């Protein structure tokens, strides 16, 4: 219905005012209960600014041109809103359409799919993944699914930072564990968690206990593989998170990628040497090579993105919110390398705070005081992890309450939604097959029916916006609202009666289908029994 309205408005605006105004068209769902309409558009007000005309007159001119929107009435509201009201039977017929549609997600495929590179998690391989990494991991994995549903060709990648001080510090921490030297927490940013014992045991086995003759580069290469194979990858696998490639930062040095971009920037005079360090000339000087000859993360990141942008139409990075100031620097460097930086999209993830018994759990990889993702999954389950991490916009802080995540009531959103799905399944099993039973839209016209139908009919808008904008929280919150509306419906309407209203059975069947599809997009199960 919304698509039909948009198409009609677009044709009228192009014919009357010119195709340059078509991008201004927006149709939104009415959310205020006192407005007797389902959708509205403010296109008249937008046109009024450009055309210097009265918005009410423009709105009237547009509505008079709408002559063939069957089942949809059009009106004008001050100062120039165009309102659209859907005929009740037309709205109700959507219930049948949803119930009879095999693949609800097929309509969300884009016309021009892209080849997309998606990089996420990419935590330094210096310790197990903890709940602080979990939000980015879950968000990235769901975005991968979102992009694939739209038809894009997605290459997912974990960028392994195996170059630099942190890996050297890990090696020193393991070496000291072997020698028995005590590590001072304030000394050299070394690592002390219990997991170091496990790392040491694996390292000792790999090099047959010969720590004295193991050089630093060899040690770091082995340690990196140990951290990935024994700690990071198994925990991600446990959460159904996989990658097409694990790309090591050291590859960029070994294949001369970093050297090539540095030479290119030198030749273009975009790089300058200051006090022995090589700096990128931008709004703010940024070091690529330190005065001691060590490469910076910035140099490696430029080389990494240079390589990816040459092979993909769109590169999406999921980074922690602490990289906010780093994003414009990367963009500036890429532009100097000749790239269109609009092909880079960065999603910043705010930190998630973990609470238990109303107390915040502190976390530090270096000190070894953290809750691993694996432990969290064992305690509350994968479904709760996924849903809770996705309930808020990624750029907002998130408080993760473990007590709520294991509760079985309305306060636990994932339980509440799954319970709605299971509840419907029980009813449908009692009723039996409905495919050959006629649907009558006039039999679902009571207030309770229409409230649930209105919420159900929002699914295309919400699914579409969530998928297109890569904002899973919109979908998560909608599913909770739909489940809540169903639970209210269940409390007020008796479906299993002597004379069953099968149109209501179609209605709850459609609700279940939307819940199942939505949960699936969020990588959350839709149980049939609870």
The two beta strands, 359-360 and 352-356, are: antiparallel
Give the C-alpha separation, 527 to 300, whole Å: 45
| Conformation bin of residue 102: beta by default, left when phi > 0, alpha when psi is -120 to 50 | alpha
| CB-CB contact of 467 with 150 (8 Å) | yes
For 433-441, the CB contacts below 8 A with 24+ separation are: 434/99, 434/502, 434/505, 434/506, 434/509, 435/100, 437/502, 437/505, 438/502, 439/93, 439/95, 439/96, 439/99, 439/502, 439/503, 439/506, 440/503, 441/88, 441/89, 441/92, 441/93, 441/95, 441/96, 441/503
pLDDT for the residue numbered 184: 62
Give the 3-state secondary structure of 264-280: HHHHCCCEEEECCEEEE
User: Average pLDDT of the chain?
Assistant: 91
| CB-CB contact of 295 with 288 (8 Å) | yes
In the chain, what percentage of residues exceed pLDDT 90? 70
Give the C-alpha separation, 30 to 492, whole Å: 25
Tens-digit pLDDT profile for residues 322-354: 899 899 999 999 999 999 999 999 999 998 888
pLDDT at 44 > cutoff 60 = yes
- pLDDT classification of 36: cutoffs 50, 70, 90: confident
Mean pLDDT confidence for 515-530 = 97
Domains delineated in the chain:
2-86 (3.30.1360.70), 92-101+103-110+409-521 (1.10.730.10), 120-406 (3.40.50.620)
Q: Residue 76 pairs with which residues in a beta bridge?
A: 82
Give the C-alpha separation, 439 to 436, whole Å: 9
pLDDT at 216 > cutoff 80 = yes
Tens-digit pLDDT profile for residues 133-182: 899 999 999 999 999 999 999 999 999 999 888 899 999 999 988 887 76
| CB-CB contact of 488 with 449 (8 Å) | no
Give the C-alpha separation, 526 to 516, whole Å: 6
What values do phi and psi take at 296, rounded to 5? -95, 165
pTM: 0.86
pLDDT for the residue numbered 191: 86
Tens-digit pLDDT profile for residues 290-312: 988 888 899 999 999 999 999 99
pLDDT for the residue numbered 29: 83
31 CA to centre of own chain: 25
Winning range, highest mean pLDDT, from 127-131, 361-365, 462-466: 462-466
Q: Where are the beta strands (DSSP E) in 254-397?
A: 271-274, 277-280, 286-289, 314-320, 344-349, 352-356, 359-360
Residues found in the chain: 530
For residue 508, give both structure tokens. 């709850």
Residue with tokens 């305690």: 379
Instruction: Give DSSP secondary structure letters for 462-494.
Output: HHHHHHHHT-HHHHHHHHHHHHHHHHHHHHH--
pLDDT for the residue numbered 319: 95
The two beta strands, 115-119 and 72-77, are: unpaired
The two beta strands, 277-280 and 286-289, are: antiparallel
User: Mapping DSSP to helix (H, G, I), strand (E, B) and coil, where does residue 250 land?
Assistant: helix
CA angle 323, 324, 326 (to 5 degrees): 60
Tens-digit pLDDT profile for residues 71-109: 888 999 999 999 998 887 888 999 999 999 999 999 999
Q: Residue 400 pairs with which residues in a beta bridge?
A: 354
CA-closest candidate to residue 304, choices 161, 170, 423: 161
Q: Which residue has the higher pLDDT, 439 or 356?
A: 439
Q: What is the DSSP letter of 372?
A: B
| CB-CB contact of 221 with 197 (8 Å) | no
For residue 270, give both structure tokens. 């975009």
For residue 464, give both structure tokens. 């579409």
Mean pLDDT confidence for 4-16 = 91
Give the C-alpha separation, 227 to 123, whole Å: 11
pLDDT at 493 > cutoff 60 = yes
| CB-CB contact of 224 with 160 (8 Å) | yes
Contacts of 488 (CB under 8 A, 6+ apart): 448, 451
| CB-CB contact of 331 with 341 (8 Å) | yes
pLDDT for the residue numbered 364: 57
Residue with tokens 């009357």: 16
pLDDT for the residue numbered 369: 54
Tens-digit pLDDT profile for residues 355-384: 887 887 765 555 555 688 899 899 999 999
- pLDDT classification of 185: cutoffs 50, 70, 90: low
Strand order in 271-274's β-sheet?
A: 271-274, 277-280, 286-289
CA-closest candidate to residue 482, choices 464, 503, 457: 457
pLDDT for the residue numbered 510: 97
């Amino acid at each position: 219905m919304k698509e039909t309205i948009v198409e009609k408005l677009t044709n009228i605006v192009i014919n009357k005012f010119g195709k340059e105004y078509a991008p201004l068209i927006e149709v939104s769902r009415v959310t205020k209960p006192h407005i007797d309409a389902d959708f509205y558009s403010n296109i008249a007000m937008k046109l009024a600014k450009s055309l210097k005309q009265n918005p009410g007159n423009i709105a009237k001119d547009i509505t008079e041109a709408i002559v063939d929107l069957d089942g949809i009435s059009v009106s004008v509201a001050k100062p120039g809103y165009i309102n659209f009201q859907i005929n009740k039977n037309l709205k109700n017929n959507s219930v049948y359409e949803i119930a009879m549609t095999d693949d609800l997600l097929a309509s969300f495929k884009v016309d021009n799919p892209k080849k997309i590179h998606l990089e996420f998690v990419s935590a330094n391989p210096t310790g197990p993944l903890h709940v602080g990494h979990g939000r980015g991991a879950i968000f990235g994995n769901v975005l991968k699914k979102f992009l694939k549903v739209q038809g894009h060709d997605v290459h997912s990648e974990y960028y392994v930072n195996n170059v630099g001080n942190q890996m050297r510090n890990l090696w020193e921490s393991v070496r000291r564990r072997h020698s028995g030297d005590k590590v001072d927490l304030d000394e050299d940013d070394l690592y002390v968690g219990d997991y170091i014992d496990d790392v040491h045991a694996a390292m000792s086995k790999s090099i047959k206990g010969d720590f004295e003759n193991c050089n630093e580069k060899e040690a770091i290469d082995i340690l990196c593989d140990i951290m990935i194979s024994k700690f990071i990858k198994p925990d991600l696998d446990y959460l159904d998170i996989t990658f097409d490639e694990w790309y090591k930062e050291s590859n960029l040095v070994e294949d001369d990628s970093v050297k090539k971009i540095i030479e290119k920037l030198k030749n273009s005079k975009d790089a300058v040497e200051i006090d022995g360090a090589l700096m990128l000339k931008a709004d703010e000087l940024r070091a690529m090579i330190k005065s001691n000859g060590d490469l910076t993360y910035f140099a490696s990141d430029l080389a990494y993105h240079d390589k990816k942008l040459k092979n993909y139409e769109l590169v999406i990075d999921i980074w922690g919110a602490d990289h906010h100031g780093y994003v414009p620097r990367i963009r500036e460097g890429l532009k100097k390398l000749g790239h269109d930086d609009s092909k880079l999209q960065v999603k910043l993830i705010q930190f998630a705070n973990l609470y238990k018994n109303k107390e915040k759990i502190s976390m530090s990889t270096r000190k070894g005081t953290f809750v691993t993702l694996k432990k969290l999954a064992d305690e509350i389950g994968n479904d709760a992890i996924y849903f809770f991490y996705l309930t808020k916009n990624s750029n907002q802080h998130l408080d993760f309450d473990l007590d709520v995540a294991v509760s079985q009531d309305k306060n636990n959103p994932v339980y509440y939604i799954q319970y709605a799905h299971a509840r419907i399944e029980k009813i449908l099993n009692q009723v039996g097959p409905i495919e050959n039973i006629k649907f009558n839209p006039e039999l679902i016209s009571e207030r309770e029916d229409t409230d649930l139908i209105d919420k159900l009919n929002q699914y295309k808008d919400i699914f579409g916006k969530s998928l297109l904008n890569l904002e899973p929280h919109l979908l998560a919150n909608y599913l909770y609202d739909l489940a809540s509306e169903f639970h209210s419906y269940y409390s007020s309407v008796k479906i299993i009666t002597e004379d069953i209203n099968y149109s209501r059975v179609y209605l709850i069947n459609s609700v279940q289908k939307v819940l199942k599809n939505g949960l699936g997009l969020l990588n959350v199960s839709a149980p049939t029994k609870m």
